[in-house]
Structure 1
């Protein structure tokens, strides 16, 4: 099962293959910014992918649109639109 590791001092969190990144972070007790509750509207749930970006789902149409309209850099993902398929390391500006 994939592990989500964190840049800052937090223990890794194991998730099931294909788990939603935002839901997994919330389940791990971490705050995830969002005003749309994960409906893919606000783009506030952007997460920095430190390592393992290749272990995430490809960007869907909603994520591409949100990243383009909100000028979100390529090293970040919209967590409500992202599935985890392997080990990753993440960070957020507000943790």
Structure 2
């Protein structure tokens, strides 16, 4: 199973998730805090930076591409609710 390392400002969580799991839902189900409101990509609250393992997540969705272009963010910035895990990754929530 893939491992997700989540770096918070004051702590670090590490969880194992099923391959192809939605990142946000997997974190929530294991009581790991990633800020969110809508789970559909509209609110952009669950913005994260993939620090390591970007090759182990799905391609960006149209919502993510538009948001990143508008805010001039690199492709390492993703919405946790739109991200699916296929291998080990390390992330940092932006809020």
Q: Please say whether Structure 1 and Structure 2 have the same fold, judged by a TM-score greater than 0.5.
A: yes
* Counterparts in 2 of 1:62 and 1:75: CA distance versus 1, 3 Å: same
Residue matched to 1:4:
4
Task: Please point out which of 14, 18, 21 is paired with 1:19.
Answer: 21
Q: With structure 1 as the length reference, what TM-score do the two structures score? A: 0.82
State how many pairs are aligned.
Answer: 93
* Counterparts in 2 of 1:69 and 1:7: CA distance versus 1, 3 Å: same
Structure number with higher strand proportion: 2
Unaligned runs of 5+ in 1: none
Unaligned runs of 5+ in 2: none
> 1:27-42 counterparts in 2 under 5 A?
27-35=29-37, 37-42=38-43
Per-residue deviation at 1:14? 0.6
CA RMSD of aligned residues (A): 1.8
Q: With structure 2 as the length reference, what TM-score do the two structures score? A: 0.82
